[in-house]
Chains A and B, each alone.
Chain A
C-alpha cells in the first residue's frame, strides 16, 4: 500500500516537474536567440523575454486595467453561458423527444466563429445603453455567453440522462417522483459533467473575451491591446499582452482544477 502511495506522489511530482523543465528550456532557447533560429524569425517579431517582462513591469497599472476588463467579461459570460446551458440541458432532459434536437441547435451556435459572431452581437446591442462602455460590455459578455453555452448544455445533458442503470432501477423501485429523481440522482450525477464542460469553456471564455474586444466600440481589454500594438508594429508590447493573456487563461484553468478537486474529492 505504501509503495503505491509513494508511486502516486512521484507521479504527481513528475506531472509538475516535466512541464516546468520544458518551460525553462523554451525560455533559455528564447533568451539566447536559438529559438529565433529554429523558427526562422527575428527578434523584432519575437522579442526577447527580458524585454517583454520589462514592458509588463513598466506598465503594470495600465495592464491591470485591461486585465480586469477582460476577466470581467470572461467570467460574467462564462457564468451566464453555463447557467443558461445547464437550464437548456434540464429542459432538454425533461422533454427527451425534442431535447436532443434542441441541443443540436444549441451546439450549432458553437460552430459559429467568434469573429463572425462578435460584430453581429455588437450591432444587436447598440440600443442597450447610450453609454458606449456599458453596451460594449453587454455585447462582449453575450459573445462569451453564446460560446460557453454549448459545451455546458451538451455535457450537462449527458450528465442528466446517462444514469447508472442500478441507480435508475433503484429510483423506480422506490416509485420516486420526477422531482426526487432529479434532485437525488440526476443533479449529482451531472456534477462531473459540469466540470468536463468547464474545462472546455473556461479557456474558451478567455478567447471569446479577447476576440470580442477587437470589435467592441469601447476600447479596452487585453485582446484589443494585442491587436493595436501589432498593427502599429509594437511587437514587444503586443507580446507583453499576449503573455498576460496566457497567464489569465492558465490561472483561470488552475482555479477550475482546484475547485474541481474540492467538489469531486469524494468521488475519487
Chain B
C-alpha cells in the first residue's frame, strides 16, 4: 500500500511538472486566450441581466475558445458561423457524447437536432435531462446551413445501371414518405433492425428527422422527398469552397472548379415509377453512422417491401466509427451511400467520381446548444 501511495505521489508531482512545462511552451498563446476570456467575461457582466443575443453568445464562446464540434468533416458550418461573427475559425474537438457540454468545458456545443440535442434535453436512458434550460443557435437561421444526409453513388455506377439507381431512389423515397407519415412505426422498425440507441431516443429521433426531411432551410414545407433544392445546394457548395481546406494542392484547385453539375444528378429522382428492369438487382447501401432513425427511410423501405416491389434486393450496411462511406462507395464495396454533401464535395475534389442522386435532408440539422 505504502509503495503504491508513494508511486502515486511521485506520479502526480511529475505530472504537475509536466503541466507547468506544457504551459511554458505554449506561453504566448495561453496568455492571449486568458486575456480574451477576461474580456469576454467583462462583456458578459456589462450586458448584465439583459437577454444575450445569439451573436453575443457566439462571440463570447469563441473568445473563450469554448465552441465545440466533432471536426473530421463535420465542422464547416461552425467555421462559417465563426467567420460570420468575425471570430477566429477555431473550435474544440468534441467527443461523441455531450460530457464536455455537461461539465462546462464547452459552452457552445455542436449537436444534431435529432440526436445529441435530444440527449441533452431529455431524461430517458443516456439523456442529460436539461429540459427547457438550454437554448439553441440554428445554422439555418444563421444563413450558414449546409445540406447533410443525401443519397449517392459513383458516376460510373449511375451510368451503367440507370434503372437500378432510379428504382433504388424511387423505393427509398417511398420509404422516407412512409417513415415521415408514421414516425412512431418507423422508430419501431429501426429499433428492431438492430438499433444502437434506446427505443425512446429512437422515437425522438424519428420525429426530429421528419422535420429535416420535410422542411427546407428557410422553414418552408417540402412535399417532394429527396428534392435537390438549387439554392440550398449552391449555398452548400459555396460554403464548402470557402471552408474546406485541403493540403493536397491538386484537390484544393479542383474543389474551386466544382459546379453543381459535378456533384449532383437530378435525372434519377422521380415520383413516378418510370424505369425499366434494374440492371443490377442485389445492391448494398452504406450508412454514414450506426443504425438509427437518421436513416429510417431505408429501413422502412426494406421492411415494407418497397425494394422488393421494384425488384431490388437491398442490404443495409451501417457505419460508425471511422468507416468512410465515400471510400466504400468509390471502391465498389457498396453501391450506394449516405453522406453529407460537404463530404461528397471534398471526396470529389480529392479525385473520387461520386454523384448525388437524391437529397434527403432539406435543411441543416446542426445546432449549437448552450445552457441558459
Looking at the assembled complex, report how far the CB atom of A178 sits from the nearest CB atom of chain B, in whole angstroms.
17
Indicate with 1 or 0, residue by residue over A220-239, a CB within 8 angstroms of chain B CB atoms. 00001001111111111100
Tell me how far the C-beta of A5 lies from the nearest C-beta in chain B, rounded to whole angstroms. 46
On chain A, the residues within 8 Å of B248 by CB distance are 51, 55, 234, 236-237
If A133-B30, A219-B71 touch, whether A83 touches B14 (CB-CB below 8 Å) is: yes
**Which of A42, A58, A119 is within 8 Å of B247, CB to CB?**
A58
Contacts known (A234-B247, A234-B346); A216 close to B93, Cβ less than 8 A:
yes
Of the listed stretches B47-55, B197-205, B213-221, B323-331, chain A binds B323-331
A84 touches B14 (CB 8 A): yes
Residue contact B7 to A218, C-beta cutoff 8 Å: no
Chain B 63-109 residues near chain A, CB threshold 8 A: 65, 71-73, 91-95, 99-100, 103, 105
Q: In whole angstroms, how far apart are the Cα atoms of A126 and B99 in the complex?
A: 11
Across-interface contacts of A33 in B (CB, < 8 A): none
A207 to B15, CA, bound (A): 20
Known: A55-B248, A59-B247, A237-B246. A44 touches B105 (CB 8 A): no
Contact of A232 among B95, B249, B330, B347 (CB under 8 A): B347
> Are the CB atoms of A233 and B326 closer together than 8 Å?
yes
Look across to chain B and name the residue whose beta carbon is closest to the beta carbon of A83: B14
In the complex, which residues 316-359 of chain B have their Cβ closer than 8 Å to any Cβ of chain A? 322, 324, 326-327, 330-331, 343, 346-347, 350-352
Shortest distance between the CB of B369 and any CB in chain A (Å): 17
> Chain B interface secondary structure, helix, strand, loop or mixed?
helix
Please indicate the chain B residues that have their CB under 8 angstroms from the CB of A235 in the complex. Answer: 350
Closest chain B residue to A136 by CB distance?
B93
Binds B, one of A14-22, A137-145, A168-176: A137-145
Contact, CB under 8 Å: B247 / A72: no
Closest to A94 in B: B3
Is A88's CB under 8 angstroms from B73's CB?
A: no
Size class of the B contact interface (CB-based, 8 Å) = 35 or more
Report Cα–Cα, A228/B26, bound state, in Å. 23
Please judge, given known A-B contacts A119-B95, A123-B99, A134-B26, whether A232 and B247 are in contact too, CB under 8 Å. Answer: no
Complex contact A227–B322 (CB within 8 A): yes
Residues of chain A contacted by B21 (CB below 8 angstroms): 76
Q: Is B270 an interface residue (CB 8 A)?
A: no
- Seen from chain B, the residues whose Cβ lies within 8 Å of a Cβ on chain A are 3-4, 6-7, 10-11, 14-15, 18-19, 21-23, 25-26, 29-30, 33-34, 37, 65, 71-73, 91-95, 99-100, 103, 105, 244, 246-251, 322, 324, 326-327, 330-331, 343, 346-347, 350-352
21 example contacts (A-B, Cβ-Cβ < 8 A) are as follows: A58-B247, A59-B247, A84-B10, A84-B14, A102-B4, A126-B105, A129-B23, A131-B34, A133-B29, A137-B19, A138-B19, A142-B18, A219-B92, A227-B72, A227-B322, A232-B350, A233-B343, A236-B251, A237-B246, A237-B247, A240-B247
